[in-house]
Structure 1
């Protein structure tokens, strides 16, 4: 029984949890009644009773409401384990970059987090946003940020049932207090924590290239390449991309081109918000100017002859998420067309976004590409999931497709950017990429509760 019902406050009783008559009858039939109620890390003894008005909702007496630290009336799930009932679940969204602005407490990302918490409510969970500095370890509580129709407010809640990691960047992840928080919640409270960390491009490539199911999607990729290797790759492919192994958002990417019928080498890159193109008479001169410190920490990747729209290369962003059953599904697909003279399709470099439907109607691209991209993304999601430690709930893929329809993986992101969702026709996909992580969080919380040892009182 896993129905979402409203939880309301009851002021005329003490120590009592009222449930719909059908739920109460199941305990009568078993001649066994739960006597503990849990919310996050908090638990309290309680008496269970049938709803006084036979309604399909939960009522909780005010004293238990305070003891358990429930912030407000809301729709919830009810999970049963032994003699304990678990309400919620309580989902903590972990991030950094808080401000003192009560209207925008997480800066520019406040609207995204507000929508995420609203999605949690719709999914039948209690969501809040918190940072490492807001935890009171002695009391086992967190002063979290909550959101409802009236706006943002702070509430003190217990340690959550599950944590969704939405740290904004690698530098915030490297802070000692942040890593200590993650370790402590998992070791002391056994809190499932999903989407930890950022993927390292090279480590990910190494993991995937030994997987027979997905290695077909990988372009040739070399870490710390010598100039002789770079020269050979340019002969083979006429173009390569050089990028930081742990970069993101397309920052630091350069494209080197050596057309077979030309003697010059070209370097395309972005500097001070402008697309630049330089010509060199030799590879050694190019490397000396563009990479004075060498290629250490950089990966060189085979350049793919991408399908083009109006002479501009195009790739695809595909979002995959785990759902309420813990299974992978595709939540969004969009094409990204490079801006004039740009080496990437990122919107910050004047790229434009098109839906698959628009590609078909405006440019005659066959819709079969959608099915092919979905299949590739789900194969890659399952492969990454099997090879990376911890719980992963979402991945953003940047995939390229050649004129012949062959698919290549450029990058997999554990915390995908949301730039494509500025497109008006991707509103429903944007909503799905918010609700699915909440569904998966509920799945993880339920799984963790079911694994708990039964408490006998």
Structure 2
């Protein structure tokens, strides 16, 4: 049983009373819950469309404000929710910018809560009061940021900023304790490992055609064998992101020289020439642990205005827990760049801007949609935990074949700076909250089965 209703405090009600619309009279209710807090109550009924709580119950449940929220009933308990905790790190002492330069992103994300019917807050490991089962969460409203004491949430959305932070002992222990001791589903935990994803996708016969040949043995011999088969290769970090640490290597047979493109520590795009791979590795990748890198087949991509083109596709789970494509854009490489990332001078275009012809637009959209949904399902099947969103980087070769370059569990949002992708920007944020509603309902209805 489920409904979406405004919830309000009514001081005239007796301490243990709630007043429910008479359309919900068949709901058996003996107590009311919000997050991990539960309180015994006596239901009365009225002809309106609002759920009224006594002042005592409203305060005991620690509801942050009156608003429209989902109602779920299971085993005579009326659950209000979802209460969604967004877990991150990097908090400041400023209530105006509590999460530093990422404050704007989080304010946009939290501002979607009323569109969905949810309470959403930000928290870090140091904001948890384990003894009394509460959190000091940051909430966002029209008046700006504020701190509220809240119960433990129904679900947690992991938005840790990077891999280094994710490995911090306190943060990993917090996640483990909330999942194991409190059975709170935690979605999008962890950054993807490129080699791990590649191996798991290689199991699926219908996905193999999308995968460039890849090896995790970065040796001179393996690089030579790849360069004998392909016009160029990439050497990229297994746990990299944003195009950092990617090397494009070309062997010019006529000259007998190896060329390498990469971005140096000053974030400048560099092109260097070497007479041997040994010299190249000793110069460009000096002191790097090659066990943390992959070799990947280079794909000659389609070009536009002398720039290489690849594609970013976002997929999200919706309020029914089903995968859908939520955003799609083309990206053009910057001058002299190995990748199409905006921090390397890349430019974002919509599919219609990139392909003026209707037939071409429909063809590429259909191909990218089919590939991204198929691979989303496979990743979801083969990886543990709850995955609610994935960002894909695809390429298209001159024969219009689609290739998967990368899958990201915490996709960047730079494509949404494009003014024509505003709808997709809002949709991707809204779907993350809607998936949390789905997980909340599943957790309430199947408290023992959601993790099995």
Q: How does 1:305-384 map to 2 (within 5 A)?
A: 305-361=300-356, 365-384=360-379
Query: Which residue of 1 is the match for residue 417 of structure 2?
Result: 422
Contact 1:129/1:145 (CA < 8 Å) preserved in 2?
yes
The alignment partner of 1:296 has SS state of helix
Q: How does 1:166-245 map to 2 (within 5 A)?
A: 166-245=159-238
Deviations 1:375-413 (A, max 9, x none): 000000000000000000000001111111111111100
Q: Could you tell me how far apart the structure 1 residues matched to 2:144 and 2:347 are?
A: 33
Query: Which residue of 1 is the match for residue 290 of structure 2?
Result: 295
Query: Which residue of 1 is the match for residue 64 of structure 2?
Result: 71
Q: How many residues align?
A: 445
Shift of 1:170: 0.9
Unaligned runs of 5+ in 1: 28-32
The alignment partner of 1:447 has SS state of helix
Deviations 1:240-269 (A, max 9, x none): 111111111111111101134442210101
The alignment partner of 1:428 has SS state of helix
Query: Which residue of 2 is the match for residue 265 of structure 1?
Result: 258
Contact 2:2/2:73 (CA < 8 Å) preserved in 1?
no
Contact 1:223/1:300 (CA < 8 Å) preserved in 2?
yes
Q: Could you tell me how far apart the structure 2 residues matched to 1:428 and 1:341 are?
A: 32
TM-score w.r.t. the length of structure 2 is 0.96
410, 425, 440: which one aligns with 1:445: 440
TM-score w.r.t. the length of structure 1 is 0.95
Query: Which residue of 2 is the match for residue 405 of structure 1?
Result: 400
Contact 1:321/1:395 (CA < 8 Å) preserved in 2?
yes
Shift of 1:311: 1.7
Query: Which residue of 2 is the match for residue 3 of structure 1?
Result: 3
Is 1:20 the counterpart of 2:14? The answer is: no
The alignment partner of 1:156 has SS state of strand
Query: Which residue of 1 is the match for residue 42 of structure 2?
Result: 47
Q: Could you tell me how far apart the structure 1 residues matched to 2:88 and 2:159 are?
A: 5
Contact 2:3/2:72 (CA < 8 Å) preserved in 1?
no
Query: Which residue of 2 is the match for residue 285 of structure 1?
Result: 279
Query: Which residue of 2 is the match for residue 30 of structure 1?
Result: none
Which sits farther off after the overlay, 208-217 or 376-385? 208-217
Shift of 1:367: 3.0
135, 138, 142: which one aligns with 1:142: 135
The alignment partner of 1:181 has SS state of helix
Contact 1:128/1:145 (CA < 8 Å) preserved in 2?
yes
Query: Which residue of 1 is the match for residue 268 of structure 2?
Result: 274
Query: Which residue of 1 is the match for residue 245 of structure 2?
Result: 252
Shift of 1:4: 1.9
Q: Could you tell me how far apart the structure 2 residues matched to 1:135 and 1:283 are?
A: 52
Query: Which residue of 2 is the match for residue 92 of structure 1?
Result: 85
Shift of 1:452: 3.2
The alignment partner of 2:56 has SS state of helix
